[in-house]
């Protein structure tokens, strides 16, 4: 598995760390360790990783576009609990938001509904999800059992509650 992410446990936001490139530039030289807290300053000074930020010919365009966003993400969450994760971790969880969606069509995650769309009522969230194109629907709605939808409802309520107390 090659998908790699920086995830802020404090804000429950995450961003693509750059797929195999993150593996070779950060993980292989032990600058980061999978499922461990990230030393943000160590990543910030990993020059081989950031070299692709300036769009050299050897690096893919998606990577050149991604890295400035990763930099912004790491700066924003530098004093939070940032962990280096792989993809499977997020599939299990209802409570995460990807900061930069690749497709420009964000999946309607619970946190997206609350933080980006300002939804506060569960019925309202269900209405939006039901009306959405199938590809944009969250997995708990599109493929889930009734128990998954019930879990999503609980997670949704918790996100609302957390935001009130912050």
Point out which residues bind Zn ion (CB under 5 A): 8, 10-11, 77, 80
The nearer residue to Zn ion, 79 or 164, going by C-beta atoms, is 79
Tell me the longest C-alpha to C-alpha distance in the chain. 49
Residue labelled with tokens 């990783």: 49
Q: In angstroms, what is the minimal distance from the CB of 76 to Zn ion?
A: 7
Q: Distance between CA 114 and CA 26 in Å, rounded? A: 33
Q: Distance between CA 86 and CA 78 in Å, rounded? A: 19
The nearer residue to Zn ion, 111 or 137, going by C-beta atoms, is 111
Q: In angstroms, what is the minimal distance from the CB of 11 to Zn ion?
A: 3
Q: In angstroms, what is the minimal distance from the CB of 38 to Zn ion?
A: 12
């Amino acid at each position: 598995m090659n998908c790699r992410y920086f995830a802020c446990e404090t804000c429950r936001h995450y961003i693509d760390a750059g797929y195999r490139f993150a593996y070779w530039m950060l993980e292989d030289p032990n600058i980061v360790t999978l499922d461990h807290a990230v030393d943000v300053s160590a990543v910030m000074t990993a020059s081989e990783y950031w070299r692709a930020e300036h769009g050299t010919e050897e690096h893919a365009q998606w990577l050149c576009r991604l890295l400035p966003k990763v930099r912004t993400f790491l700066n924003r969450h530098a004093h939070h609990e940032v962990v280096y994760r792989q993809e499977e971790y997020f599939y299990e969880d209802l409570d995460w938001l990807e900061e930069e969606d690749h497709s420009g069509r964000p999946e309607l995650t619970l946190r997206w509904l609350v933080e980006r769309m300002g939804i506060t009522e569960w019925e309202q969230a269900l209405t939006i999800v039901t009306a959405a194109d199938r590809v944009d629907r969250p997995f708990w709605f599109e493929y889930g059992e009734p128990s998954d939808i019930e879990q999503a409802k609980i997670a949704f309520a918790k996100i609302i509650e957390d935001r009130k107390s912050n």
